[in-house]
Amino acid sequence: DIQMTQSPSTLSPSVGDRVTITCRASQSISDWLAWYQQKPGKAPKLLIYDASSLESGVPSRFSGSGSGTEFTLTISSLQPDDFATYYCHQYNYFFQTFGQGTKVEIK
Amino acid sequence: QVQLQESASGLVRPSETLSLTCTVSGGSISSFYWSWIRQPPGKGLEWIGYTHYSGSSNYNPSLKSRVTMSVDTSNNQFSLRLTSVTAADTAVYFCAKYLRGSFSPLDSWGQGTLVTVSS
């Protein structure tokens, strides 16, 4: 199984802060990684795919980078609407897996 | 824009079978791969598996012995069956669409439906 480990588990930034979330894979997944945003009671929303491609309609303050085993989601200037939980998802292998999530909560 | 809607399920008794259907609108079910994901209350996302109208399917090894997915092209629906459920199967179940083939991100999701396993 490919384990996806996100860090940190929780973040408490302020509006306007630069936020960085890391996702590490237990084996190389090339760049077959996506990031999702989930708000309470809602379905996840695709933000980034193929490690660094921005999904249509997603604000440009979101960006992704990395390849192999280490990946980063960056929010350049946190907005009030960005307080949510973020998940990474690897789709390189037949058995796909998600990270455990990073909650970005209001300070 | 493809839209997905899970059938309401609600309460399932322990040892019985959970059955869910996802209805697809705004696109042909034959054009994409489809997935089921679940989320226990207060916890993270768990990938259950994927299916395709061709019959191709792949499941989470931890659930493989109990899971079956299938596609109904005549009704533009796909389904999930999970047998011998226990309380650990209590979760919100989401259906979702892959962006391209099965090795791709999930770009459209249903709203999710809560399934509770309890006697």
Mean pLDDT, residues A43-52: 98
Looking at residue B41, its pLDDT comes to 97
Q: How far is A107 from chain B (nearest CA, A)?
A: 20
CA distance B20 to B7: 6
3-state secondary structure (DSSP) of residue B53: coil
Q: What is the mean pLDDT of residues B8-26?
A: 94
Confidence of residue B10 (pLDDT cuts 50, 70, 90): confident
**Cβ neighbours of residue A21 under 8 Å, at least 6 residues apart?**
A6, A7, A8, A11, A72, A73, A74, A86, A102, A104
Residues in CB range of A8: below 8 A, 6 or more apart? A21, A102
Mean pLDDT of B8-25: 94
pLDDT for res B39? 98
B60 to chain A, closest Cα gap in Å: 6
Cβ atoms of residues A102 and A6 within 8 Å: yes
Amino acid letter for position A48? I
Q: Whole-angstrom distance between the N-terminal and C-terminal Cα of chain B?
A: 39
Q: Which of A33, A44, A90 is nearest to A98 (CA)?
A: A90
Best A49, A96, A97 residue to mutate vs chain B (most B CBs within 10 Å): A96
List pLDDT tens digits, range A72-88.
999 999 999 999 999 99
- The residue of A58, A87, A91 whose CB has the most chain B CBs within 10 angstroms, and thus the best one to mutate to test that interface, is A91
pLDDT surpasses 80 at A39: yes
> What is the mean predicted confidence (pLDDT) over A18-43?
98
pLDDT band at B102 (very low <50, low <70, confident <90, very high): confident
DSSP B72-117: ETTTTEEEEEE-S--GGG-EEEEEEEESSSSSS-EEEE---EEEEE
Window 49-78 of A, Cβ < 8 Å to B = 49-50, 55
Contact B47 A98 (CB under 8 A): yes
Q: For the ranges A84-88, B44-48, B98-102, which has the lowest average pLDDT?
A: B98-102
pLDDT for residue B8 is more than 80: no
B94 interface with A at CB cutoff 8 Å: yes
Q: Are B115 and B20 in contact (CB under 8 A)?
A: yes
Report whether pLDDT(A45) > 80.
yes
Band of pLDDT at residue B106, cut at 50, 70 and 90: very high
Measured distance CA(B34)–CA(B31) in Å, rounded: 10
Dihedral sign for Cα atoms in the order A37, A39, A40, A45: negative
Flag whether pLDDT at A1 surpasses 90. Answer: no
pLDDT above 90 for B5: yes
| Whole-number Å distance between alpha carbons of B1 and A53 | 19
What pLDDT, on the 0 to 100 scale, is given for residue A48?
Answer: 98
